Structures are given as C-alpha cells and as structure tokens.
Amino acid sequence: MKGRKKIFTLTAIFLLVILSIGLLLNNRSKNLAKAKKNVVLTNFPVYVAKASVEEINLSLEYNGTVQPNAEVSIASETNGKVVAVNADIGSYVSKGTVLIKLDDRIKQANFITAKANYEKMKKDLERYEKLYAEKSISENQIEQMRFQFTNAEAQYNIALKQLEETKIVAPFSGFVTSKMVEVGQVVSPGTPLMSLVDINTVKIRIQVPEKDILKIKKGDLVEITTELLPGEKLIGKIQNIGYKADEAKTYPVEVQVNNNKNLLRAGMFVRARIPSAIKGRTLLIPREALVGSSLEPKVYIVENNVAKLIPIVLGNEYGKKLEVVKGLQEGQLVVVEGIVNLKDGTSVQIVGQN
C-alpha cells in the first residue's frame, strides 16, 4: 500500500509540472501573437517633386560680399589733448566735417608769432627789393634778406600746418564705423582716432568660375538682391574682371552699385544675377530638396516607397530652383518636405507632389 501511494504521489507531481509548462508555453505564444499584432511598420509621409527639364534664360548667379567704395582709418598727425569729439559710431558726416578737435592754444600762439614774422619779412623784402633796384644796397644784403624771408615763410607754413592738424576732418562723406578716443585723452602722431566708410556707391565682389568667365564683359548689368531686404532689387554694372584665377579656378569680378539709399552695408552677403538673353534647357529641382551644403550637395530620391540619399552636382541657381548637372535624371522624384525624418533606406509614403 505504501508503494502504491508513493507512485501515485509522484505521478500527480509529474502531471502538475507538465500542465504548468504547457500553460507557460501557451501564454508565451499568445503574448508573441499579441506583440506582432501591435507592431506597425512606419512609412514616413513625404512630399516630392519631379526633377524636370525646363527652358530658361541662362542667367548667371553668384554669391557676393558688399565692399565700401572707400574706407579709411584716421590717425592723429600731432600731439595734443582731445577737447571735442563731434561724431559717433553710425554718424553720417560730410567731407570736411571736423570730427575731432585737439587743444590748439600753444599751436595757435606759435602760428600768430610765425605769421607776424612772415608778414614783417615780406614787407622788409619788398623794401629791400626796391633799394636793390635803385642800387642803394649790395647784392649780399638783398640775398641775406631773401634768405630771412624764405625762412620766415617756411616757419609760417609749418605753424599753419601744425595748427590745422589740431582739427581732424573727414576726408570724404561717409559713415563712422569706429571711434577710438574720448574727450580728455592725450594723443600722439599715429594714434588711431576713427574709421570712416563711403557706401554711397558700393562694390560687390564675386568669384566667377572659369566656365562662365568668357560669358561676361565689363559694363554688363547685374541684379543685386539679399534675403535681408526681401523685394528689393538694385542694379549694378560690372566694373572690373580679373585676369588671374585662384586655386579654385575662379576669377575675381567687381560690380559697382549705386547705394544712395544706403540699403546695402559693408560686409553684407548678397546674390548677384547677370541676366542673359540666351535660352536653354536644363534639369532643375526645387531648392528645398537640397540636403547638406552646396559644397557637398545631396538629395533624397524615392524609389518603390524607399528614400535613397544620393550625391549630385549643382550648376547655377535660378530663383527658387537649382540646376543639376550630374546625379539625377529627368522625372526622378526628390523629397521636398519631410526630409528631417529621413535617412538612407527609410520607408516612406508619398502624400503629395509639388
């Protein structure tokens, strides 16, 4: 009896273990099925545009930087204490305006003395010239008087220049860009005082690649725009064309622009467009499709609902469109919206086409 009871107990335990394992496996299968049911493959929504060949005026467009027509750093030419500063940073000053005044009391006194001596020597020389003409004095006497007059005249001119140097004036009309002195400061020759720029007329510096350099000439009209002044367009002319390329095989070109409204400021980045009557067909994509910089341009194309990141070679810019000279074919779809969610190989869903 005891043996049968022991066998029965072991059998019951074994059945309970088998039942528990079965329940665990069944529960795991249900959980896996439920997890699979909850998994949703995400296709990121994107807007696309077709790379299209269009007929356009083959204008040339380049980035440029605004340069002032003239720029000068004004320094003191004499010693003295600053007693007046008549302009500040941003002030517009006319040519000849006194910008800074130095204490001139000693130089004024020296000038008065030199002037009086000069005028006296001048009268004495006139009197001696008459006496010499009448042969009343010797040649040695007239030569000595002429020497004294020349010396007095030189001292007068030196005193006048030193007095004038106490007034620092604007060499041309323009804007003050920096001020390095204040009232009460003592300056010496060479001390920087102010900087001045003339932007009534400005120069736009652009770099033209060798493939385009023979397409332009001096006097060609150039349209100047900047994102800082939406809707504004200024017209300039090509003033100078360089004859030596840099290491990147681009040539320096200078465009002169009338800036009498002072819309452009030195250092601004602008876009220079040289219109052309020549028409041509070229492959274009929207600017929004560009990924990365213009130095290493890439775009996402969509094939079979998969985004692929590919490198391209850009040509010129035409308004809001970019010319593609290599890497794309007409009709290929490029992503223009939804790029932020993408990487190479991402599954996508096209929800619109521009």
**Lookup: tokens for 216:** 């332009």
44 near 348, Cβ under 8 Å? yes
**What letter would DSSP give residue 347?**
B
Query: Rounded to two decimals, what is the model's pTM?
Result: 0.59
Residue 337 CB-half CA count within 13 A: 9
Q: In the chain, which residue ranges form alpha helices assigned H by DSSP?
A: 2-38, 105-133, 139-164, 210-213
- Other C-beta atoms closer than 10 Å to the C-beta of 329 total 10
Determine the pLDDT at residue 332: 96
Query: What pLDDT, on the 0 to 100 scale, is given for residue 23?
Result: 52
* The CATH number of domain 74-193, selected from 3.40.30.10, 2.40.50.100, 3.10.20.340, 3.40.50.300: 2.40.50.100
pLDDT of residue 281: 85
- Of 193, 149, 147, residue with least CA distance to 171: 193
> Which DSSP string corresponds to 19-49?
HHHHHHHHHHHHHHHHHHHH-----EEEEEE
Q: Where are the domains of the chain?
A: 45-58+280-353, 60-68+196-277, 74-193
Quote the pLDDT of residue 32. 35
Inter-axis angle of helices 105-133 and 139-164, nearest 10: 160
Query: Which residues, given as ranges, of the chain have pLDDT below 70?
Result: 1-42, 277-279
Q: Write the CATH number of the domain with boundaries 45-58+280-353.
A: 2.40.420.20
Query: What's the token pair of residue 153?
Result: 């005249």
**Closest CA relative to residue 231, chosen from 241, 223, 220:** 223
Q: How far apart are CA 116 and CA 324, in angstroms?
A: 79
CATH superfamily of 60-68+196-277: Efflux pump adaptor protein, beta barrel domain (2.40.30.170)
Give the per-residue pLDDT at 19: 52
Q: How many residues are there in the chain?
A: 354
CB-CB contact of 239 with 203 (8 Å): yes
Nearest of 153, 17, 2, 166 to residue 80 by alpha carbon: 166
Q: What tokens does 48 get?
A: 């696309």
